[in-house]
Amino acid sequence: MVAERLQDALKQNAPIDEIWIRSPGGNARAGNEAGKIIRAQGIPTRVPSGWACFSACNFVFMGGPIRYVDDGGYFVVHMFTHLGDKDAVREEIKQGADQAIDLIGDVEQDSALLASEDNDFLIRMGVSRKLLTEVMYQQKAVDDGSHDKSTRRCLTSAEAAKYNVANAQ
């Protein structure tokens, strides 16, 4: 698990003055947990020039009490998804209406819980909740096959400051 690996790395490399972060993302809840560990340790985070922090990485990064996104660093956000594997969803739906209804209910419930967890995380990290409603949750969760790039959005420097994602220069 990400949280355990992070804790081990922090112990093995102590003291740590700053964490440089780049990742294509992964599990949203794992990102939240890793961010909480970084916050508890009080370690600043940075996305250096030429590096990109996508998806769950965003929450790891936002755990830093002091956060830098260097010029040329990319902080890329999107809406979380529980339906990334469309083929698996199609197979579930083929099983019949009852299975499809159960799947939809499970996805709705877990999505509501994750949105609440994300909101709570941002409040605790001092990041504007508007990052979720005005930016992250405005992106499509899954590429619909048309190669529409609205599933990802790189914050500008002004946006990173506006939402208090980057709180240091």
* pLDDT over 90 (residue 78): no
pLDDT at 83: 55
pTM: 0.82
Could you tell me if residue 167 is inside a domain? Answer: no
Q: 11-68 pLDDT, tens per residue?
A: 999 999 999 999 998 888 899 999 999 999 999 999 999 999 998 999 999 999 999 9
Could you tell me if residue 19 is inside a domain? Answer: yes
Could you tell me if residue 168 is inside a domain? Answer: no
CA 144 to chain centre: 20
Look at 128-137, 139-148, 158-167 and tell me which has the smallest mean pLDDT: 139-148
Task: Grade residue 152 by pLDDT with cuts at 50, 70 and 90.
Answer: confident
Could you tell me if residue 120 is inside a domain? Answer: yes
- CA angle, 19 as apex, 14 and 25 as ends, to 5°? 125
CA distance 50 to 44: 19
Could you tell me if residue 69 is inside a domain? Answer: yes
Of the spans 93-97, 147-151, 159-163, which averages the highest pLDDT? 159-163
Q: 85-135 pLDDT, tens per residue?
A: 566 666 667 777 777 777 777 777 877 887 888 889 999 999 999 998 898
- Total domains in the fold of the chain: 1
Domain that residue 8 falls in: 2-162
Could you tell me if residue 169 is inside a domain? Answer: no
Q: What is the DSSP string of 98-167?
A: HHHHHHHHHHHHHHHHHHHHHHHHHHHHT--THIIIIIGGGS-SS--SS--GGG-EEPPHHHHHHTTSS-
CATH of the domain at 40: 3.90.226
